[in-house]
Amino acid sequence: MVAAKKIGKRNYHVPNLDRALQIVERLASFPKGLNRNEISAETGCSANMVYRIMMTLVDAGWAYRD
């Protein structure tokens, strides 16, 4: 049996996944929610990027629009 190599921190890095996780983490800190501009300010992501990521999260059932 071959032992698995330890993968370095930046190997197989997916920047958009990092952004989505950052948004999910920020939203978890605000139970009442945030709007697109607030998420953008909290994460440093553009409002357009936040919109696309949030719509993907909504479609997947990970977030909802109120």
Per-residue tokens: 42: 């909290």
- Domain ranges, ordered by start, for the chain: 15-59
What is the predicted pLDDT for the residue at 2?
A: 46
pLDDT for 4 equals 47
Say how far apart CA 10 and CA 30 lie, in whole Å. Answer: 29
pLDDT tens track for 31-54: 999 999 999 999 999 999 999 999
